[in-house]
Structures are given as C-alpha cells and as structure tokens.
C-alpha cells in the first residue's frame, strides 16, 4: 500500500503552486493569469516564459486541489528514489514538454480552423456554417437558426455578412482571446503518474472516485485511455487540455527511457 510522506521538493512545489494561486485570487491587478498562462503561438498574449509559468497557475480551488493531491500521492516515493534534483528536473521537463506538445496540437487545430474559415468566405453555405461551429466551437448556442436561414436563402447578403462575421469571431476567440490560455500542473503530474506506474506498478492507491484500492499500473492505464478518448471525442463545454495531459505522460515515458540508458546513474 502507498505510504504518504511529504518530501522536501514535493512540499516546495505545493507551496509554490499555492502561492501563485493565491496571487491569482487576491492580486488580480498583477495579471498573473494572463501573463503566465500558455497562449497559442501567434497570440498577442504569448510569451516564451509561459512554457514554465503555466504549470504553477490554476483556474480554481478544485483545479489546484486535484493536482496537488496527485503530487502528494505520486511525488514522495519518486523523490525518495531519485533524489530532490532529479525529481524536480523530471517534473519541470514533463510540464515543459506537455506545453510544447500542446502548442503543436493547438497550432494544427488553429491552422485547420483558419483554412475552414477561408473556405467559408469563398463559398458561404448554411451547412458549412453549422459544420464550422460543430467542429471548432461546439459550446456555442444559437448558430443553428442563422445556419437554417442561410441554407434557405444562400444569396441573402445580410445572412452572409452575419455568418462570416460569426466565423471570424470564433477564429479571434480561439486564437487571441485573453481567456484562451492553458494553465495547470496536470501535464507535469501525468508525467509523474507514468513514472510511478512504471517504477512501482503494483503499489495500491486510493484515488477518488474509485472506492477501492487499485494498482498504479491499472490506474494510469485507465487514466490514459480516458484522456485519449476525451481528447478525440471532445464534448461541448470541455475546456480540459487532454492532449497536454497525454503530452506530459509521453514526455515522462521518453525521459524514463533515456535515463535508463545509463542504468547505473538512473537513481
């Protein structure tokens, strides 16, 4: 069974995340969320330092508590095994790598969306208008009415103008909105989860909402399958960066395998 013991680096990461979260909550005039969240490449809000700072910021209490509980569960045994320096290095690499892979996925999605918008400008139809929203902004409401009107009256200049403005507005919202930044330690945490399951596969863990202990290897496997499914089958209103989670897990795997090449220096 898992034996929790808060190690020094885990404690320092907890305190750092709590500190920056309190700054977000009580000193919003410093704009920590806007300056530190990871925005898409090309956004006016993007800065290079965000590849590191985003993992120390969180959206709300539920967000930070969930991530910090995971750090407490998976972190101490890894720090005991690796030592403080290697543990911190692993955490930062996984978080940084998750941000890089997230940016790659986001760049692809935005590029595809911009191409769809350009195609709609060339040939606006009600069906393409509805498809654009269903694909790129499924949480939106009310676009169906305009789509039906445009389908019935494809030459109406007012409907065409309203639809093209709506499409351009989605592109602007997704790419340049001040609310479009990613934040949270989940990418780094998923790297830890993989490392834990790889090194301590049969350690039993209690993890809400599962009402019974489950071995680490099964827990991480099911988490991974869920994140993959949720990333591919996005539901309206889902603002979780599932590919960043998978990115952190992938980076964790690559780092572990790289370190294993020098097995005598691994731990």
| Contact partners, residue 101, CB within 8 Å, separation at least 6 | 243, 244, 246, 247, 250, 251
Is the domain of 155 the same as that of 212? no
- Minimum mean pLDDT among 68-72, 144-148, 202-206: which range? 202-206
- Identify whether residues 66 and 162 lie together within a single domain: no
Q: Is residue 68 part of a domain?
A: yes
- Distance between CA 46 and CA 244 in Å, rounded? 17
Q: What is the pLDDT of residues 168-221, one digit of tens each?
A: 999 988 888 877 889 999 999 999 999 999 999 988 876 656 667 778 888 888
* Claim to verify: residue 128 and residue 48 sit in the same structural domain: no
What is the three-class DSSP state of 259?
helix
pLDDT in tens, 75-117: 999 999 999 999 999 999 999 999 999 899 889 889 999 999 9
Report the Cα–Cα distance between both ends of the chain, in Å, rounded. 22
Assess whether 161 and 78 both reside in one domain. Answer: no
Residues 217 and 158 in one domain: no
- Spell out the residues 6+ positions from residue 80 whose beta carbon is closer than 8 angstroms to its own: 5, 7
Q: Examine the domain organization and report whether 78 and 208 are in the same domain.
A: yes
Q: Per-residue pLDDT for 265 more than 60?
A: no
Per the structure, the count of domains in the chain is: 2
In a domain, 199, yes or no: yes
Q: 160 with 45, same domain?
A: no
Tokens of 34: 């806007």
* Residue 3: inside a domain: no
Residues 207 and 75 reside in one and the same domain: yes
Per DSSP, the three-state class of 7 is coil
Full-model pTM: 0.84
Determine, yes or no, domain membership for 251: yes
56 lies in a domain? yes
Tell me which of 136, 154, 176 is where a domain ends.
Answer: 176
Pairing of strands 204-205, 214-215: antiparallel
Does residue 1 belong to any structural domain of this protein?
no
Q: Are residues 172 and 203 in the same domain?
A: no
Which residues, 6 or more positions from 63, have their beta carbon under 8 angstroms from its beta carbon?
A: 184
Query: Are 94 and 16 contained in the same domain?
Result: yes
Q: Which of 204, 189, 161, 197 is nearest to 90 (CA)?
A: 189
Does residue 63 belong to any structural domain of this protein? yes
Asked if residue 113 and residue 192 are part of one domain, the reply reads no
CATH of the domain at 95: 1.20.1540.10
Let me know whether 30 and 89 are in one domain: yes
**Domain's final residue, options 134, 160, 176:** 176
Q: Domain residues for 32?
A: 8-99+179-265
176, 193, 227 - which closes a domain: 176
């Amino acid at each position: 069974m898992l034996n929790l013991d808060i190690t020094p680096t885990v404690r320092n990461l907890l305190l750092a995340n709590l500190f920056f979260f309190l700054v977000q909550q009580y000193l919003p005039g410093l704009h920590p969320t806007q300056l530190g969240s990871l925005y898409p490449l090309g956004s006016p809000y993007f800065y290079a330092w965000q590849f590191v700072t985003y993992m120390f910021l969180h959206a709300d209490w539920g967000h930070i508590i969930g991530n910090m509980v995971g750090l407490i569960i998976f972190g101490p045994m890894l720090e005991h095994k690796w030592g403080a320096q290697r543990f911190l290095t692993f955490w930062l690499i996984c978080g940084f790598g998750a941000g890089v892979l997230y940016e790659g996925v986001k760049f692809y999605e935005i590029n595809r969306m911009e191409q769809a918008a350009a195609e709609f400008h060339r040939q606006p139809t009600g069906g393409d208008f509805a498809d654009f929203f269903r694909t790129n902004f499924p949480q939106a409401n009310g676009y169906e009415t305009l789509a039906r009107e445009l389908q019935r009256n494809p030459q109406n200049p007012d409907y065409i103008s309203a639809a093209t403005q709506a499409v351009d507005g989605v592109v602007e919202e997704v790419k340049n909105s001040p609310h479009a930044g990613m934040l949270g330690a989940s990418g780094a945490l998923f790297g830890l989860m993989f490392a834990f399951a790889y090194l301590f596969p049969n350690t039993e863990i209690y993890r809400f909402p599962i009402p019974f202990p489950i071995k680490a290897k099964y827990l991480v496997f099911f988490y991974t399958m869920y994140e993959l499914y949720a990333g591919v089958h996005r539901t309206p209103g889902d603002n979780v960066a599932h590919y960043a989670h998978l990115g952190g897990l992938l980076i964790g795997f690559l780092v572990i395998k790289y370190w294993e090449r020098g097995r005598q220096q691994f731990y």
